[in-house]
Amino acid sequence: MEIRTRFAPSPTGYMHIGNLRTALYEYLIAKSKGGKFILRIEDTDQGRLVEGATDVIYNTLKITGLHHDEGPDVGGDYGPYIQSQRMGMYLQYALDLVEKGQAYYCFCTKERLEGLKTSNQKGDAFARYDRHCLSLSKEEIQANLDAKIPYVIRQKMPTEGTTTFHDVVYGDITVDNSELDDQILIKADGFPTYNFANVVDDHLMQITHVVRGSEYLSSTPKYNLLYDAFGWDAPTYVHLPPVMRDAQHKLSKRHGDKSFEDLLEEGYLTEAIVNYIALLGWSPSDNTEIFSLKELEEKFDISGLSKSPSIFDIKKLTWMNSKYLEAMDFDKFYSLAEPRLRSAIKNTSLDLKKIATLIQKRLETLNDIPRLVDFFDTLPDYSTELYIHKKMKTTEEIALSSLEACVPVLEQLPQWEETSIHDAMMNLVAELGIKNGQLLWPIRTALSGEPTSPGGAIELADILGKEESLRRIHIGIEKLKQLQ
């Protein structure tokens, strides 16, 4: 049997981390077994639709490499893949259940239903429907329909016994049928409810595995009873525990937690985000942490899914992102870094590729670039305390003498490039009888004006050029002389 999974988001806004993880697991379940991954847009809740949200879904799947085999934009044999375009079929399926005695018309008004809530003796916020309309005769039903009285269609739930279903993550789960309400299948506006449309579409699209959040566990018995009512085989259920901000709180955009788009804007790489999200609830058979999407397709096994909630750790993602940046092919890295470098550095004479080479292995995110390189454009105002370094055994006095000694040597260099600068400075170290750091640390500090910098004195001098390097060294000398 071919494995067929579906990602069925509602176009109601941004792509949050939990949604993306669900899509990723559905993709991996299918691809790890040579199956099909389907995209279906569930837009039956018209009141919650957000303009442009469907494009966000398409773009996210494209950017992450989760390419769907069937969907609204690529077609397929089981379309349409947008629920609102499938409207003609849902009512007929509900009417089939009415004919079988598995569902019934309900003409109760909102006022009556509200009255049920207020008369609930337990004080619950929700009162179970009392089946007032279940006893209506065919003649009464037809009269109401002819009078165009608004109605919904409800599923007739069993009132005795239990319903059991098996979930890949949580095992066998059993509920008492007496706890189940007669859920609405078709709403008064003619649109199907989320649960009903899901079951019909999943069956017609031959979906074999349904992956969703554990908050839907309580709805699953209703799904199964619908499958039973139609005489259809139920899919394999995979319910995922939530992704948490901390031990008590789920991730929430309202509380400032990041969406996928937010993470991209903050300089995280798509590949690192996907890799990290894959590990939020799934453990590989070994201790490997870094996976390409292709490697995930090969390694993923559904048995590795956990029932424990996962905490989204931004520090762990940041670490993983730094590893991706460090290992990235330089040309690819430069294509990502160049726009940020050009924005931060206005001096067009500087070699941005040389700067990119220095910073690649020092970045945690791409958004670190401006902070690391802005000194190339403008020397910051800095304290002479930066020249003091215990490990390098430098003091302000040593720094001043070293800078004064290097000026004539650098001025006389016939060729300004990294090798010649290095050789000249090493010869000067030997001539002065000092340690390398006692010369190079003061030069690096004078050139950058920062406590740390990507690259040392030689690399910075090479990039800044002779004139600018000497100008900055003279500024350092003047700062240090003012202390005397």
Report the DSSP beta bridge partners of residue 389: 394
Across the range 455-480, mean pLDDT stands at 98
Is 126 a residue whose pLDDT tops 60?
Answer: no
pLDDT of residue 88: 85
pLDDT of residue 251: 82
Per-residue pLDDT of 280-293, as tens digits, reads 999 998 889 999 99
CA–CA gap between residue 461 and residue 270 (Å, rounded):
35
* Range list of β-strands (E), 246-319: 310-311
pLDDT of residue 123: 52
CA–CA gap between residue 71 and residue 46 (Å, rounded):
20
Is 146 a residue whose pLDDT tops 70?
Answer: yes
The answer to which of 32-46, 204-218, 378-392 has the lowest mean pLDDT is 32-46
Does the annotation mark 100 as catalytic? Answer: no
Residue 106 structure tokens: 């309900």
* Side-by-side strand order, sheet with 236-240: 36-39, 4-7, 209-213, 236-240, 162-167, 171-176
Q: How confident is the model at residue 127 (pLDDT cuts 50, 70, 90)?
A: low
CA–CA gap between residue 264 and residue 321 (Å, rounded):
11
Per-residue pLDDT of 110-124, as tens digits, reads 999 888 876 555 555
pLDDT of residue 86: 92
Report the DSSP beta bridge partners of residue 104: 154
Which residues are within 8 A (CB) of 220 and not within 5 positions of it... i.e. 6 or more apart? 165, 167, 173, 237, 239
Q: How confident is the model at residue 74 (pLDDT cuts 50, 70, 90)?
A: very high
Per-residue pLDDT of 213-270, as tens digits, reads 999 998 899 999 999 999 999 999 999 999 999 888 888 767 777 899 999 999 999 9
194 and 44 Cβ atoms separated by less than 8 Å: yes
pLDDT of residue 50: 75
Per-domain boundaries in the chain: 85-240, 255-327, 330-377, 384-481
Mean pLDDT of the chain: 94
Per-residue pLDDT of 194-204, as tens digits, reads 889 999 999 99
Is 44 a residue whose pLDDT tops 80?
Answer: no
Is 457 a residue whose pLDDT tops 70?
Answer: yes
The single residue listed with the structure tokens 């209703």 is 222
Cβ-based burial of 401 (10 A; exposed 0-12, middle 13-18, buried ≥19): middle
CA–CA gap between residue 82 and residue 84 (Å, rounded):
6
The answer to which of 44-58, 173-187, 208-222, 330-344 has the lowest mean pLDDT is 44-58
CA–CA gap between residue 388 and residue 37 (Å, rounded):
60
Considering the domain 255-327, what is its CATH architecture?
Orthogonal Bundle (1.10)
CA–CA gap between residue 138 and residue 142 (Å, rounded):
6
Cβ-based burial of 17 (10 A; exposed 0-12, middle 13-18, buried ≥19): buried
Q: Taking the mean position of all CA atoms in its chain, how far away is CA 72? A: 22
- Tell the CATH topology of 384-481: Arc Repressor Mutant, subunit A (1.10.10)
Reduced to 3 states (helix: H, G, I; strand: E, B; else coil), residue 169 is coil
CA–CA gap between residue 195 and residue 103 (Å, rounded):
14
Q: Is the pTM of this model over 0.85?
A: yes
203 and 227 Cβ atoms separated by less than 8 Å: yes
Q: Name the amino acid, one letter, at 404.
A: E
Per-residue pLDDT of 322-378, as tens digits, reads 999 999 999 999 999 999 999 999 999 999 999 999 999 999 999 999 999 999 999
Q: Parallel, antiparallel, or unpaired: how do β-strands 209-213 and 236-240 relate? A: parallel
* Range list of β-strands (E), 310-421: 310-311
Which percentage of the chain shows pLDDT scores above 70? 96
Q: How confident is the model at residue 160 (pLDDT cuts 50, 70, 90)?
A: very high
278 and 31 Cβ atoms separated by less than 8 Å: no
pLDDT of residue 118: 62
Q: Name the amino acid, one letter, at 350.
A: L
Cβ-based burial of 187 (10 A; exposed 0-12, middle 13-18, buried ≥19): middle
pLDDT of residue 149: 97
Q: Taking the mean position of all CA atoms in its chain, how far away is CA 285? A: 23
Q: Parallel, antiparallel, or unpaired: how do β-strands 103-106 and 152-155 relate? A: antiparallel
Is 476 a residue whose pLDDT tops 80?
Answer: yes
Residue of 253, 294, 346, 393 with catalytic role? 253
182 and 198 Cβ atoms separated by less than 8 Å: no
Across the range 35-39, mean pLDDT stands at 98
pLDDT of residue 114: 86
CATH 3.90.320.10 fits 85-240, yes or no: no
